[in-house]
Structures are given as C-alpha cells and as structure tokens.
Amino acid sequence: MDVTFLTVLRSLIVGAGPSGLMAAYWMARCGVKARVIDKRSTKVFVGHADGLRPRTLELFDSMGFQHRVMQEGSISTEANFWVPGEGGKLARKGPFNISRPDESPYHNTRLNQGRIERFILDSIKEHSDLEVERGIIAESLEYDENLENDPNSYPITVKLRSQGEEALNPLYNHSQSASGATRKESERHYLLPDDWNDQAQRGNFESKVEIVRAKYLIGCDGAHSWTRKQLDIPVEGSNTDHIWGVIDVIPISDFPDIRRVSIVSNAAGTILIIPRERGLVRFYVPVHVCEAGSTTRFDRSTITPEVIRTRVQAILSPFTFDFQACSWWTVYQVGQRIASKFTKGDRIFLAGDAVHTHSPKMGLGMNMSMQDGFNLGWKVALAVAGTVQPSILMTYDLERHPLAEMLVDFDRHWSPMFIDQKSPEEKDTKAAAMFDIAGKFEDFADGWKVFYPGSCLVCKPGSEAVARYIVPGERLKPVKLRNQAEGGTKWTTTLLESDGRFRILVLAGDVRNPMQRGRLETLCQVLTGQFAPKPSPLDRYVSIAGRHDSPLDVVTVHSVPWKEAEFFDFPEILHPLDAVRGWAYDKIWCDDSCIFDRYCDGTAYEKWGVDWVLGALVVVRPDQYIGWVGELGDVDEMTEYLDAILVKK
C-alpha cells in the first residue's frame, strides 16, 4: 500500500527542463525553499534543443557559467544558402552574417540542451541544497480561488506520486539510438564525464504518494503540459501539415558548408544544416506532407534514420552524404500553438513549451522557454521571500505573452518557406525572401529588443534626454568596464550578477567637474539618509532573508579616465565598508579603455547614449532589464518606482 505524506511548501516547480531549471535557479539564489519535480528519471543527455541566442548567453553570464558554454559550444557567425545555379547544380549564396559583432559579448552558439541543464543544475547546487526530484508525477491539482488574495495562504493542493523506475516514461519519446544498441552503450561516446556519472548514478525510486500544499506552482511540463490541462487553459493554433525528421550525426560529406549554418533547397526539397559541438551536425529534413483534410494520423514509425539519410542524400546531391555515428534523432510535426493565458490567478504559472510551440528551425525554442523561466523565477522567488509585492506577478503574462504571440506569428511565415516546391528561379527569390524575413526578426530573435510594456516594473517612458539607449523594458546593452580599484575589466553581464537584487546604476559622469561632483554628493547624501525625515532608499525595504541585507545593490560607473580617478574619491555609500569584507572594491567602475583588453574600449556612455559629464541614474531589474531611468537628482522618482515593487520594512 502507498504511504501518503503531507507537505506544505512555498513553491513547487513541475518539470525540470530548461524553463523549469531557470525558475529553480532563482529559488536557489534567493534562498527560497522550493521543490522541483520531473516525471522523467534523468535529465536530458543528448539531442533535443541546441540553439542558444546571444541574449540567453548574456543571462548565463549573469548566472556564472557562460565560460563553460563558450568552452564547449559551437559558434557560427555566417550562414549560407544553397540553390540550384547554372546547369542546375547547387551553388552557394553567401556567406551572410548572422550575428552583429558589437551588439553582445556573445554570438549564436549551439550546444545540446543536456549540457545546459548540467550547467544550471551545477549552479543550483553551488547556491543551495535544492535538488531535482525525478521520477515523480503530479496526479491531481486543486486550486482554491477564495484564498487567492491572501498572501499567507496556500491555495494550491497537488498530489504527487513517486514511481518505481520500471514505471517511468521512457526518456526519449520517438527517438532512439540509430544503431539499435542499448542506450547506455550507444550514448557513452557522446557524453562528457560529468553527465556520464550522473546517468550512471541514478538512484532507486520507491513508490510513494504525497499531498503538497503550495503558495505558488510553476508548470514547465512541456507541450503536453499536465498542469495546463488541469487548469483548462485553452491553446490556440494547430499542427501544420508537415512532418519533419531531425538527426544529429557526424557527417561524412564533401558538401563544402557541412560545418556552417546552411539552408539547401532544390527540387528534391529543403534542408537546414546546423553544425554542433564535438563534430556533430544537425539536419532538419522534411519527410512527409499530410494530405489536406486527411483525418488519418501519420504513422511516424515509417520514418527511420535510413529514411532521413536518403532524403538528405537526395537534396545534397551531387555532393556526397553519409554517417556512421548518430547521437540522436526524432520525428515531429510542427504545432504552432499558444495558450490563451500564462497564469491562473497569479498563483499558478505556465512557462516554455507548456504555453507556446512552434517550429524549432529558428533555434529559438529553448531560448524562449528559458527566458520565460528566467522572467518568472525571480518574481515568484522574491514574492515568496517577502521582498517584492505579489502584485508584480501580473507582469509575467503581460511581458511574456505578447512575445510568444510574436514568435508563433513569425513562425507561421518562416516555417512554410522550407516546404514550398518551387522552380529554380523561384528558389532564388525565396532565398532573398527568407533572409529578409529572418533579418527583420533578428532583433527579437537574438534578444536585443524585448519590448516589455509599461507596468509597475517598467516605468515608461524613460528619460530619452538623459540616457538615449537605456530604454525601460529593454535589456541593458552590455559593455565592458574597468574596475577602479583593481584595473581589471568585466562585461556588465557578469557584473550585474543574477543574485535577486535590483541594481541602482549610478552613472556618475565626470566627477572632476565641481558641479557634477556636487550633484553626486547630494545624491549620496540622500542615499545615506542624511535628509531626515526621508529615509534612505537603501535602508527602506525588506531584505532577501539569509542572502542580502538589502534588495538593492548600488553600482557606480564614472566617465573619468581610469588613471585620473581614485577609488576613495567616491562617497562611501557607493562602496560601503563591511566589518569583515572591507570596502566594496567591486562597486566602482570606469568607462575607459584598457590596452590589455580590446573589448574594453571606453564606449559605454556612448553606447548607452549618456552624457559624459552629467551621467544618469538607472534601476536595473534582477533580470537585467531596465526598470527606471532618470537624472542623478531624481531620487524621489526612483523611490516612488521602487515603492510600488518592494515591500517596505
């Protein structure tokens, strides 16, 4: 007989894929006791998603593991388009740049989802005792709407069942080793030692039933989301008529661009070639078109790696193509769907594939899902911690829903381009059309523009006169700065660590100028609380218990040449003294070039559109998006912005 336990919990995350792990990261960083369950018995190891957009990589940097992604991942900065040329033989159009060199420290990178999960899991472990509980399914969900508005209540009741390993769902739906060997044997070759050990050390699963009562629930349980179904949240959209095969192989091919992002299109069809880490290349291959109006479900078992191989051979001909090593493959039908809402009462939230699905060919899926989890995680974690007001939770749907709509809409235009059977002349026009569409979408796809609308978290309009390119609702454009005390350099993406704190950026300007010096000193007097009865904004809000004394962190960036400024020139509130850690040497930064670092080029103020003398005052949210912008003197306005978000002491 099953034993039943009762647990009361602050937050529960269902699903430990990329979006669930991003949310879990925030629980770990903010010291929130949470639980993360997943029905599968292990993490992903090979295959699945692989595309990483620059914005996602910037987030990884703020989380502390982007150096691992750079070490292992494969970067492509150009793409090529191949269509029949003279004599009908495939000819290259390109290369086209697919990345903008100065927009981000990072470039489009491919690395399989399993490694990304590894890095987030390692980071969670570094900051907390939180562990993913695997082999657990949620069986029932009750939600008591009457309790919704009582912040101390636990309106969610979930019944969880731990399964014996035998009963677990297989990890890879619709996928298997191409050779037919057992998974363990066939995969070892593709796994790095830390993943291999993880896989080898799977524990025993005992059957157990548990009733969990939770304040918040985050459902990241994929396209067939159990959580979404319990909530009866409708999904709009449909499957397209096209069945695709995906295969990760080490190709043996004389096609010249086999290690470059390429689209190859001729009378035989269109394939997408994506080079990956460790010699792997991924191929997206159209394998079947369902008849319009047909009600028979396509039998996916007719598609094998052999079928995909033959299709690729036909499309790449006269170039050769073959493989012996295949790490993963699958067959899918593109579903373009979006959930009508992403939340139930701002107590239960859905993220990632649970609320939007689309074709994987823009390499955006994992990025959108992780950015959902990242956007949501800190809000729930800080709400649970009592640091922010639960009212900010309404911004999750507000910010992420329109982006998901934009994504699915784009996909409806982009995806069919791979399918059309056109003449060679039309192919040429099509090539241009595809890049045109992709180009327009780039700002969004790479994450440069996010367009978060105005809300309590995004104070719009900002102050264009003060900081032209620091726009509330967008990310802070990354720049490399020089540390005043040490002389070393850092990207702002590293500096603005994702530790749960809001950051007040004091862009101090030219503090050699006496007028400006006076402005800075006035600001610091306010920040120190010297204008009683006005309390210091730094001392005004509830802390992140066990982690940070204040939910606000102050970082100063001045514009004086590095050698002409001194750390102790700056008022102490900007680099406060700690009895054990000493003065905060990591808080004063300089926008100056450094001959030892070609990326530290003294262009921060310019890139941000900020006056070199006058500077600016900026609040950056915990997720590195701009919340508020003003002048150095606008502390009252800033405090007003913060008052609507943070819980006062």
Under the binding rule (CB under 8 A), the answer on residue 551 touching its own copies is no
Q: How far is the CB of 195 from its own copies (least distance, A)?
A: 12
Between CA 236 and CA 53, with CA 286 as vertex, the angle to 5 degrees is 65
Contact 490, 479 (CB under 8 A): no
Under the binding rule (CB under 8 A), the answer on residue 485 touching its own copies is yes
Binding-site string for its own copies from residue 102 to residue 141, where x marks contact by CB under 8 A and - marks none: -----x-----------------xx---------------
Instruction: Report the alpha-carbon distance of residue 152 to residue 147 in Å, rounded.
Output: 9
Tell me which of 143, 190, 284, 625 is the catalytic residue. Answer: 284
Task: Write out the two tokens for 336.
Answer: 């373009």
Under the binding rule (CB under 8 A), the answer on residue 582 touching its own copies is yes
Closer to its own copies by Cβ: residue 193 or 293: 193
Amino acid at 85: G
Beta bridge partners of 245: 285, 331
Closer to its own copies by Cβ: residue 167 or 252: 252
Q: How far is the CB of 596 from its own copies (least distance, A)?
A: 5
For residue 229, give every residue at least 6 positions away whose Cβ sits within 8 Å of its Cβ, in sequence order, or none. Answer: none
Contact 93, 82 (CB under 8 A): yes
Contacting residue, 70, 147, 542, 644, with its own copies by CB under 8 A:
70
Task: Write out the two tokens for 291.
Answer: 């008849």
Scanning residues 168 to 197, which ones bind its own copies (CB under 8 A)? 193
Q: How far is the CB of 269 from its own copies (least distance, A)?
A: 23
- State the DSSP H helix or E strand holding residue 629, giving kind and residue range, or none if neither: strand 626-630
Under the binding rule (CB under 8 A), the answer on residue 95 touching its own copies is yes
Distances (CA, A) of 598 to 482, 485, 588, 610: 12, 20, 21, 22
Scanning residues 40 to 59, which ones bind its own copies (CB under 8 A)? none
Under the binding rule (CB under 8 A), the answer on residue 585 touching its own copies is yes
Distances (CA, A) of 576 to 286, 406, 553, 571, 588: 60, 44, 11, 9, 11
**Is position 284 annotated as part of the catalytic site?**
yes
**Is position 452 annotated as part of the catalytic site?**
no
Instruction: Look at the block and give the residue holding tokens 């969880």.
Output: 160
Under the binding rule (CB under 8 A), the answer on residue 254 touching its own copies is yes
- What's 46's DSSP letter? S
Binding-site string for its own copies from residue 269 to residue 308, where x marks contact by CB under 8 A and - marks none: ------x---x-----------------------------
Task: Write out the two tokens for 138.
Answer: 């949620």
Closer to its own copies by Cβ: residue 71 or 294: 71
Among the residue ranges 41-49, 111-119, 590-598, 610-618, the one whose residues contact its own copies (CB under 8 A): 590-598
Tell me which of 10, 18, 35, 50 is the catalytic residue. Answer: 50
Count Cα neighbours of 532 within 13 Å in the Cβ-side half-sphere. Answer: 0
Among the residue ranges 11-19, 323-331, 395-403, 509-517, the one whose residues contact its own copies (CB under 8 A): 323-331
Among the residue ranges 141-149, 406-414, 588-596, 634-642, the one whose residues contact its own copies (CB under 8 A): 588-596
DSSP string computed for 304-361: -HHHHHHHHHHHHTTS-EEEEEEEEEEEEEEEEEEES-SEETTTEEE-GGGTEE--GG
Contacting residue, 1, 71, 204, 546, with its own copies by CB under 8 A:
71
**Is position 50 annotated as part of the catalytic site?**
yes
Under the binding rule (CB under 8 A), the answer on residue 99 touching its own copies is yes
Under the binding rule (CB under 8 A), the answer on residue 596 touching its own copies is yes
Under the binding rule (CB under 8 A), the answer on residue 595 touching its own copies is yes
As a three-state string, the secondary structure of 191-250 is CCHHHHHHHHCCCCCCCEEEEEEEEEEEECCCCCCHHHHHCCCCEEEEEEEEEEEEEEEE
Under the binding rule (CB under 8 A), the answer on residue 68 touching its own copies is yes
Scanning residues 561 to 580, which ones bind its own copies (CB under 8 A)? 563, 566-568, 577, 579-580
Under the binding rule (CB under 8 A), the answer on residue 256 touching its own copies is yes
Closer to its own copies by Cβ: residue 250 or 542: 250
Closest CA to 466 of 647, 629, 649: 629
Instruction: Report the alpha-carbon distance of residue 447 to residue 625 in Å, rounded.
Output: 11
**Is position 360 annotated as part of the catalytic site?**
yes
Tell me which of 118, 134, 260, 276 is the catalytic residue. Answer: 276
Between CA 577 and CA 581, with CA 580 as vertex, the angle to 5 degrees is 60
Among the residue ranges 29-37, 322-330, 369-377, 457-465, the one whose residues contact its own copies (CB under 8 A): 322-330
3 state DSSP class of 300: helix
As a three-state string, the secondary structure of 439-489 is HHHHHHHCCCCCCCCCCCCCCCCCCCCCECCCCCCCECCCCEEEECCCCCE
Under the binding rule (CB under 8 A), the answer on residue 97 touching its own copies is yes
> Could you list the residues that contact its own copies (CB under 8 A)?
67-68, 70-71, 74-78, 95, 97, 99, 101, 107, 125-126, 193, 250-254, 256, 258-260, 275, 279, 323-325, 483, 485-488, 563, 566-568, 577, 579-583, 585, 594-596, 598-599
Question: Which residues are part of the catalytic machinery?
Answer: 50, 276, 284, 360
